[in-house]
Amino acid sequence: MKVYPNKLVAQLKQGASPIYIVSGDEPLLVQESCDLIRSQLKKAGFSQRDLFHAEANFDWEEVLFSANSMSLFAEQKILEIRLPNGKPGDKGGAALTQFAENIPEDTCMLLVLPKMDKRSQGTKWFKALEARGAFVQIWPIEPKDLPSWLGQRFKVAGLNATREAINALAARIEGNLLAAVQDIERLRLSCVDGHVDVPDIQSGVADNSRYDVFGLIDASLSQNSRRALKILQNLRLENAEKLGITRMLAREIRSLIKIAMATEAGQSVDAVMRSQRVMSKRTRVVGRCVSAHSVVDFESMIQHLSRIDKMIKGIGQGNPWDELTSLVLHLSGSKLAA
């Protein structure tokens, strides 16, 4: 059963579904939908939560074991599975299908996936899960819809923002929804009368020197290691979410791998950029990065990010921030990376 994100609250009020699939590439919207599902399930008595990160070499038997294990206190249980690449493989697909066909009593599955194309949605395991549960597909906010989305966010925060202020904020965040939410929260704390106009945006929202993950990526792709390191240091001081940084870097580098492979195979850079839907304003920085690295370089960066991911989750040794610094130096073309 497909459920639109704006209808999720109503669906949850009708009662808990045994399976929830949340799919999308917009981290903030995916996170908020998952938070909403967890909150409603907790109210319904699902007090235990088993979390699984289904990455390479994941043992899917752990999921089935957890699903069929009775809690010591007979609590209702949420099985939350995060599948970053959206592909469980043969064993994973079989395990998910088995769960859908024999859902244990007092157990609910929350499966978090990236955007799933039509082919992926047509697989046996996906159709089995969707038939027994709710599929929440998250779509990015289109530029034309961003002002309306921001306006609603201002209202939720108890702020009355003018149309000009909303447009000014939309121009500053450039589609970074997480940054938008953070900026609105800062304005909520700083505005005395709850009224927001353009001067409030200009003074209350960080200016062009604001450091965020998108700035980090653009500086790295531009081969500006000095600026990239400065942004990363600021993110570190702000105690930014390391897992979110690694995932966004991984997504960008995987895209770079596709572009680099195609160009090394002889395709023109412009054609490859169009096929990968690289925005025109980013073609220059993307092209600069691709020309500075080989496919092997990018693949080694993905392996490095995998190790950093394990450090963040406590299953690998090392300092994630130090390793991210090394990774960013590598991506931005600094000789200090070695």
Q: Which of 63-77, 111-125, 148-162, 251-265 has the lowest mean pLDDT?
A: 63-77
| 289 and 198 within one domain | no
Distance in angstroms (rounded) separating the CA atoms of residues 92 and 98: 10
pLDDT in the model for residue 338: 43
CA distances from 337 to 41, 200, 211, 301 (A): 46, 41, 21, 11
Domain with residue 317: its CATH number is 1.20.272.10
Strand-pair category, 48-53 with 77-82: parallel
| 219 and 316 within one domain | yes
With 50 as the cut, is the pLDDT of residue 209 above it?
no
Residue 135 is classified by DSSP as E
Distance in angstroms (rounded) separating the CA atoms of residues 216 and 238: 14
Domain assignment of residue 178, given as a range: 143-204
| 239 and 308 within one domain | yes
Q: For the segment 52-86, what is each residue's pLDDT rounded down to a tens digit? A: 988 878 899 888 888 877 655 557 889 999 998 88
| 308 and 189 within one domain | no
Distance in angstroms (rounded) separating the CA atoms of residues 110 and 51: 9
| 319 and 198 within one domain | no
Would you put residue 43 in left (φ > 0), alpha (ψ -120 to 50) or beta? Answer: alpha
pLDDT in the model for residue 96: 93
Q: Average pLDDT of 102-121?
A: 89
Question: Residue 36 in 3-state DSSP?
Answer: helix
